[in-house]
Every structure is written in C-alpha cells, then in structure tokens.
C-alpha cells in the first residue's frame, strides 16, 4: 500500500512541477471549446434539442472528455520517460507487486486528468449549464471512471512502446478518432449507420453520453444509453484496462 | 575444517542467457554456463571487459529478468521461481542512476525508501544518515536533474542502501565518480561488509578487483578464473616480463628456440611469465643485443591474470566489445 501511495504521490508532484503540462492539458481544449462552440453557435442543429441550444453548450461535455483524455493519457507518457531515465528499473526490482505499480501509476495519472477535468467543470455555469448538485456528482463519477479507463489504456500503450514519438503517432491515429467518434463533436443520432456502430463500441462515447445526461439532459437522444448503463460500461472498461495493464507489466523482458 | 559450513548468500548454477535476435542485432549468447557462489559477508567482484556478460549477470541477480536456463538462489530463496521472495533483501545499485530528475535528492530517497516498506521517523532517520554518509546533506533539496554525474551516483547509492539490504549488488559503481567519491564509496562498502552485508559488484577496474575478497573473471560469457586476487596472481609463475621491440614475431620465435619459453605477442610487445624474472632479464639482454627497446619486470596484476586465462589483453577485449 505504501508503494502504491508513493508512486501516486510522485506522479502528482511531478505534474504540478511541470507548469507547461498543467497549461497544455487545460488551455488548448478550452480554446477549442470556445472557438468551435461560438463559431458554430446556433448554426448547428442538434436533433431533438431545444431551438435555442448553442453549440457551446452541446460541445461542453465533449471538451470535458477531451481534457481528461489528453491529460490522463499524456500523464502515462511518463512511463516511457521513467524507462529511459532509469527510474523504472529500480521500481521493477523493488519488493512491490506489479498490481501496485500499475495502480500507483494509473491512479497518479488519472488524478491529474480528473483534476484538470474538475477545473473545467467550474466553467459549467459560464457555459449556461446548471446541473445542480446531483448532476455535478454524476459528472464527477463519470469523469473518475473515464480517467481510470483511459489512463489504463495509455499505460498499456506506453508500456510496450519505447519512444514518446511512437506514443504521439498512436495518439493521433487512434485516440483522437476515438474522441471524435464519441458524440463529443456531433451527436451519434446524426451519424450514418456504420459510424453509429463504431460509436456504440467506443468506451469514450459512454463518457460523453454520461456527462451529457448529468449536465445537459436535453441533448441526449431517447435511445442512447441510460446513466446506469454508462457508469456500468465505464466501470467495466476501467476494470478491463487495469487487468490488461497488470498483464502487460507482468511480463519480464530485457527491455527495461 | 571443523564441521562449520559457511552459508552461501548467492548460488549461481549453470546459468545460460541468450538474447534473441532483434531488428538489426543477431541472437547472442551473453552467458555460457556460469556457476559460482558467494559466501555470506563476502565482497565478491565480477571482473571483466565490457561485453563480457557482467551486466547481464547483474541484471539476472537483480531480478530484472530470468536467465534462459540455470538456477540462481539468494539467501536460500529461488530467485527465478520466486523473485518476490528475494527482492526485500536486495540493494541494487544500477550503472545508470535510477533517479527521478524532477524530484529533489530527499524526495528521491523518500520514495525509494517507501518502495522498500520504510516510512515515518525510521525513514527520515535513515535518510539523514545516508545523506551524511555520502555528503549530500547540503544538496538535499536540489532537484536531481540539476546535479552533476558524481552527485547523482552518490544519491543513487544512498537510495539503494537505505533499507540496509543483506545482499548488495552494484553494477560498475565507480562510473562517473571522482577519486574522492570513489574512496568514500569503498570505505562505505567496507563498513557495510563489516556489518555483515554480502556485496557483489561488477567492475572493469583492476584496482577495484584487488579490493575484493574473491573475484570471478568473466570473458565472453564464461568464467575463466575464480579465486582471491592473491591466488589468481600467484597462478602466474613468478614475474611478468614485458619487452618492447620492433620485431615482435621474429624475436618471439628466437626466444622460443633459445630459452624454451614462448612469449605472447601483442603488437610491438612481448610478454612472458617466469619465476625469478630478475635473473632472466640479463640473459635476454645479452642474447639479443640492440633488439630490445625496453624490458620491464613486474609483479603479476589481475590484468595479467586476465590475460593468462583469457589469452588476450584486457584492453584489447574492451576495444573488441566496443566495435561490436
């Protein structure tokens, strides 16, 4: 337990010491949100949503997910640095279970992602969203599960890659499309059938739907997943990613 | 012996390790049937040129990965089947420091100590003690990334030894240390040994080999000799005579014909081992007037022991390894 906590604490210290990362994870998505949201304004009609809905409001949940995705996943790049700088070799020969190493790392990185997400959540009022305590609590639950799951995914990718350039390639090829096909930018209901199938399989989509249900229920289509289903799917995704991370980290290879 | 049997802290049996072929590198056997044991409380050196297999052996002992075949036990526990049972007792000092550059010296020690289960006042006390030992107290709140190579190594040593490990493994511990810091390191190792720790270190420095209770000479993945430095040097018959000449191979043949001993030739040098070398030198000089540029006589060193067993010079094998 001490080991898990110490790895967790270390990641948080590192994050807040790295000011560009604090800014880099938070500011670009906010700028995205503001520019795309106000630019499209009311010119995009979300099917089934109230007439006066601004895209700024629709896009809010997607931006929140983008912040968590960016921050959580980029935090796992530190695994590649840890390996290259040699820190990891000492952790791997210490009397610490692989589960503790994975949990320490994933908790550290997802706390960082969650903190950034919560910072953006403070702007909900400014976006004209008034979800109330219940809504905020549900949004918090969705964000927590999403950041653990996404960090676990980042952990698996970072563990098997040996360069941060490689990580960026995977990021652009795989993670950005995952975000785009999540209902973050456009509602799933508006997409062609084959994209809807992809969206239904995409765990990021359930974090967007969950957040929209918590913060802005009026934009959620009738047939989308319920809040309970979103939370259950995100929890299952997080558990799967953690299991996979422990499996990946348990292999003993030369490339340490 | 009077029935007292010393317990072995480390037992390595028939260890073979192959690195599989990867992009641009061919498969390579790094360790080839290596066996040795280290007694409790012993200071044991793995001496050899770069590429000889020392680091592979070190990483197997450190539980980084399992060997292709063979068995290893540390303090009676099976390291291959159950590395978790060994890890709490090991203190591992890597060749390239395993520090977090964004944390301070003290923070690195705190996190390092906690990974070994230390916490609270015990941890603080140990940290202060180690900072003092390695003269790091004044730098305790500096970020590790801002430290010089020598200071980073000292921090690494302090971190790895915080939990008073029973078995200490060091990989080329003097790398990057200035002479004063090297002296500190060896003094500290001697203290730890006096307190009962078993120490196993790799090195390519002969004078460090000389400080060990026993050394194993590792060349091309095999142990070519093992014993106390004194015994290894004593295996060489008497003295070492080194001759510099312009005609190494011609002179070698003539020496063989005339004296019945065949010197080894390396470039412009001839080298031969002989008892009472001081009496032999005048005979050589008289026999080949004007053909010997310099003749020197020395007591055998570990370098001579390496050459004796590996059949080539230590520095040559270093260069070969670097060319690979």
Q: Which chain B residues contact residue A162 at CB under 8 A? A: none
CA of B135: how far to CAs of A182, B95, B157, B165, B190, in Å? 56, 20, 12, 20, 17
Residue B32 is predicted with a pLDDT of: 92
Which residues of A sit within 8 Å Cβ distance of B? 2-3, 5-7, 9-10, 13-14, 17-18, 82, 85-97, 252-254, 256
Span A106-119, mean pLDDT? 92
Helix (H, G, I), strand (E, B) or coil at B265: strand
pLDDT tens string B85-102: 999 999 999 988 899 999
Give the burial class of A192: count Cβ atoms within 10 A of its Cβ; 0-12 exposed, 13-18 middle, 19 or more buried: exposed
Q: Which chain B residues contact residue A95 at CB under 8 A? A: 84, 87-88, 115-117
Q: Which residue of B has its CA nearest to A10?
A: B111
The band of B318, judged by pLDDT with boundaries at 50, 70 and 90, is: low
How big is the CA angle at B121 (ends B116 and B123), to the nearest 5 degrees? 25
Q: What is d(CA B192, CA B158) in angstroms, rounded to the nearest whole number?
A: 12
Torsional class of B196: left (φ above 0), alpha (ψ -120 to 50), beta (otherwise): left
Residue B253 is predicted with a pLDDT of: 87
Average pLDDT, chain B: 87
Whether B56 shows a pLDDT value over 80: the answer reads: yes
Average pLDDT, chain A: 87
CA dihedral for A120, A125, A129, A134, sign (positive or negative): positive
Whether B2 shows a pLDDT value over 50: the answer reads: no
Q: Which chain B residues contact residue A250 at CB under 8 A? A: none
Residue B69 is predicted with a pLDDT of: 94
CA–CA min distance A2, chain B (Å): 6
The band of A242, judged by pLDDT with boundaries at 50, 70 and 90, is: very high
CA–CA min distance B287, chain A (Å): 57
Smallest Cβ distance to B87: which of A88, A94, A252? A94
Give the burial class of B37: count Cβ atoms within 10 A of its Cβ; 0-12 exposed, 13-18 middle, 19 or more buried: middle
Q: What is d(CA B229, CA B302) in angstroms, rounded to the nearest whole number?
A: 7
Q: Which has the minimum average pLDDT: A165-174, B8-17, B89-98?
A: A165-174
Question: Of all residues in chain A, what percent carry a pLDDT higher than 70?
Answer: 97
Whether A255 shows a pLDDT value over 60: the answer reads: no
Residue B71 is predicted with a pLDDT of: 95
Number of H helices, E strands in chain A: 12, 0
Q: Which has the minimum average pLDDT: A61-70, B129-138, B179-188?
A: B179-188
Residue scoring higher pLDDT (A53 or B196): B196
Residue B4 is predicted with a pLDDT of: 43
Smallest Cβ distance to B64: which of A7, A17, A92? A92
Whether B317 shows a pLDDT value over 80: the answer reads: no
Q: What is d(CA B63, CA A23) in angstroms, rounded to the nearest whole number?
A: 39
Contact: A256, B64; criterion CB under 8 Å? yes
Q: Which chain A residues contact residue B62 at CB under 8 A? A: 93
Smallest Cβ distance to A93: which of B87, B99, B102? B87
Please check whether residue B186 is in contact with residue B18, taking contact to mean a CB–CB distance below 8 angstroms. Answer: no
Side-chain half-sphere exposure of B25, counting CA atoms within 13 A? 9
Within 10 angstroms of residue B175's Cβ, the number of other Cβ atoms is: 15
Q: Report the interhelical angle of A55-76 vs A78-85 (nearest 10°).
A: 20
Q: Which residues contact B49 (CB under 8 A, 6 or more apart)?
A: B204, B219, B314, B317, B318, B320, B321
Q: Which chain B residues contact residue A14 at CB under 8 A? A: 100, 102-103
Taking the mean position of all CA atoms in its chain, how far away is CA B180? 19
SS3 content of chain B, % helix, strand, coil (to 5): 40, 25, 35
Span A168-181, mean pLDDT? 86
Span B217-225, mean pLDDT? 90
Kindly write down the DSSP assignment for every residue of B79-133, as one continuous string.
Answer: TTT-HHHHGGGEEEE-SS----TTSBHHHHHHHHHHHTT--HHHHHHHHHHHHHH
The band of A46, judged by pLDDT with boundaries at 50, 70 and 90, is: confident
Span A145-157, mean pLDDT? 93
Please check whether residue A218 is in contact with residue A197, taking contact to mean a CB–CB distance below 8 angstroms. Answer: no
Residue B316 is predicted with a pLDDT of: 67
Residue B263 is predicted with a pLDDT of: 86
Residue B151 is predicted with a pLDDT of: 87
Q: What is the ipTM for the molecules in this complex? A: 0.83
Residue B205 is predicted with a pLDDT of: 86
The band of B79, judged by pLDDT with boundaries at 50, 70 and 90, is: very high
Residue A252 is predicted with a pLDDT of: 64
Residue A253 is predicted with a pLDDT of: 67
What are phi and psi for residue B11, nearest 5 degrees? -130, 120
Please check whether residue A86 is in contact with residue B99, taking contact to mean a CB–CB distance below 8 angstroms. Answer: yes
Span A51-80, mean pLDDT? 86
Number of H helices, E strands in chain B: 12, 14
Helix (H, G, I), strand (E, B) or coil at B208: helix
Q: What is d(CA B167, CA B179) in angstroms, rounded to the nearest whole number?
A: 25
Smallest Cβ distance to B92: which of A10, A90, A253? A90
Q: What is d(CA B263, CA B261) in angstroms, rounded to the nearest whole number?
A: 6
How big is the CA angle at B140 (ends B100 and B97), to the nearest 5 degrees? 35
The band of A99, judged by pLDDT with boundaries at 50, 70 and 90, is: very high
Q: Which residues contact B129 (CB under 8 A, 6 or more apart)?
A: none
The DSSP bridge partners found for residue B271 are B242, B264
Q: What is d(CA B1, CA B109) in angstroms, rounded to the nearest whole number?
A: 44
Q: Which chain A residues contact residue B59 at CB under 8 A? A: 256
Whether B67 shows a pLDDT value over 70: the answer reads: yes
Whether B246 shows a pLDDT value over 60: the answer reads: yes
Whether A64 shows a pLDDT value over 90: the answer reads: yes
CA–CA min distance A50, chain B (Å): 50
Contact: A256, B65; criterion CB under 8 Å? yes
The DSSP bridge partners found for residue B39 are B8
Please check whether residue A147 is in contact with residue A106, taking contact to mean a CB–CB distance below 8 angstroms. Answer: no
Q: What is d(CA B256, CA B249) in angstroms, rounded to the nearest whole number?
A: 11
Contact: B114, A6; criterion CB under 8 Å? yes
How big is the CA angle at B113 (ends B112 and B114), to the nearest 5 degrees? 95
What are phi and psi for residue B83, nearest 5 degrees? -60, -30
Residue B321 is predicted with a pLDDT of: 52
Q: What is d(CA B295, CA B293) in angstroms, rounded to the nearest whole number?
A: 7
Closest CA to B109 of A76, A104, A6, A14: A6
Total beta-carbon pairs less than 8 A apart between chain A and chain B: 77
Contact: A14, B100; criterion CB under 8 Å? yes
What are phi and psi for residue A251, nearest 5 degrees? -70, 135
| Mutation for testing the B interface, residue in A90, A92, A101, A256 having most B CBs under 10 Å | A90
| Mutation for testing the B interface, residue in A94, A96, A104, A108 having most B CBs under 10 Å | A94
Q: What is d(CA A66, CA A179) in angstroms, rounded to the nearest whole number?
A: 7
Residue B277 is predicted with a pLDDT of: 82
Q: What is d(CA A238, CA B264) in angstroms, rounded to the nearest whole number?
A: 67
Residue scoring higher pLDDT (B233 or B105): B105
Whether B324 shows a pLDDT value over 70: the answer reads: no
CA–CA min distance A253, chain B (Å): 6
CA dihedral for B239, B240, B246, B252, sign (positive or negative): positive
Smallest Cβ distance to A86: which of B66, B94, B117? B94
Q: Which residue of A has its CA nearest to B79?
A: A93
What are phi and psi for residue A51, nearest 5 degrees? -55, -45
Residue A129 is predicted with a pLDDT of: 86
CA–CA min distance A101, chain B (Å): 10
């Amino acid at each position: 337990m001490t080991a898990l906590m110490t790895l967790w604490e270390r990641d948080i210290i590192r994050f807040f010491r790295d000011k560009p990362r604090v800014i880099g994870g938070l500011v670009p998505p906010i700028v995205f949100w503001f520019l795309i949201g106000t630019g499209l304004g009311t010119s995009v009609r979300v099917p089934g949503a109230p007439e006066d809905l601004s895209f700024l409001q629709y896009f809010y949940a997607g931006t929140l997910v983008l912040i968590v995705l960016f921050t959580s996943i980029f935090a796992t790049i530190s695994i590649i640095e840890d390996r290259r700088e040699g820190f990891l070799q000492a952790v791997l020969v210490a009397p610490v279970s692989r589960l503790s190493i994975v949990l320490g790392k994933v908790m550290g990185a997802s706390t960082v992602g969650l903190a950034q997400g919560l910072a953006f959540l403070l702007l909900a009022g400014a976006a004209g969203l008034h979800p109330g305590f219940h809504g905020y609590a549900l949004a918090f639950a969705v964000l927590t599960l999403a950041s653990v799951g996404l960090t676990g995914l980042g952990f698996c990718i970072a563990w098997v890659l040996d360069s941060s350039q490689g990580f960026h390639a995977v990021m652009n090829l795989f993670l950005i499309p995952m975000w785009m096909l999540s209902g973050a930018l456009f509602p799933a209901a508006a997409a062609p059938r084959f994209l809807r199938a992809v969206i239904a399989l995409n765990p990021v989509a359930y974090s967007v739907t969950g957040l929209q249900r918590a913060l802005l229920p009026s934009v959620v289509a009738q047939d989308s997943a319920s809040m309970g289903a979103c939370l259950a799917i995100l929890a299952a995704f997080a558990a799967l990613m953690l299991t996979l991370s422990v499996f990946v980290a348990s292999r003993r290879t030369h490339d340490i | 012996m009077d029935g007292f049997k010393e317990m072995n802290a480390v037992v390595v049996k028939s260890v073979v390790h192959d690195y599989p072929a990867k992009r641009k590198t061919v498969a390579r056997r790094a360790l080839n049937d290596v066996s040795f044991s280290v007694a409790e409380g012993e200071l044991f050196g793995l001496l050899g040129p770069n590429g000889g297999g020392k680091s592979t052996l070190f990483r197997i002992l450190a539980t980084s990965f399992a060997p292709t075949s063979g068995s290893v036990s540390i303090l009676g526990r099976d390291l291959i089947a159950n590395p978790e049972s060994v890890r709490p007792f090991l203190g591992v000092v890597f060749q390239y420091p395993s520090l977090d550059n964004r944390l301070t010296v003290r923070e690195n020690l705190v996190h390092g100590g906690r990974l070994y289960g230390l916490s609270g006042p015990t941890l603080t006390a140990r940290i202060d003690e180690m900072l003092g030992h390695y003269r790091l107290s004044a730098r305790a709140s500096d970020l590790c990334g801002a430290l010089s190579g020598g200071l980073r190594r000292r921090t690494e040593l302090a971190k790895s030894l915080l939990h008073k490990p029973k078995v200490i493994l060091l990989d080329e511990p003097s790398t990057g240390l200035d002479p004063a810091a090297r002296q500190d390191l060896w003094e500290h190792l001697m203290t730890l040994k006096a307190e009962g720790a078993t120490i196993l270190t790799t090195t390519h420095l002969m004078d460090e080999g000389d400080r060990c209770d026993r050394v194993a000479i590792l060349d091309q993945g095999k142990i070519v000799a093992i014993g106390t430095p004194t015994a290894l040097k004593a295996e060489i018959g008497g003295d070492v005579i080194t001759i510099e000449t312009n005609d190494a191979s011609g002179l070698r043949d003539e020496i063989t014909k005339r004296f019945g001993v065949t010197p080894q030739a390396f470039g412009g040098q001839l080298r031969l081992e002989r008892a009472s070398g001081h009496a032999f030198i005048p005979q050589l000089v008289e026999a080949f007037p004007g053909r010997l540029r310099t003749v020197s006589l020395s007591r055998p060193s570990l370098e001579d022991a390496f050459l004796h067993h590996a059949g080539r010079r230590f520095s040559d094998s270093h260069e070969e390894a670097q060319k690979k």
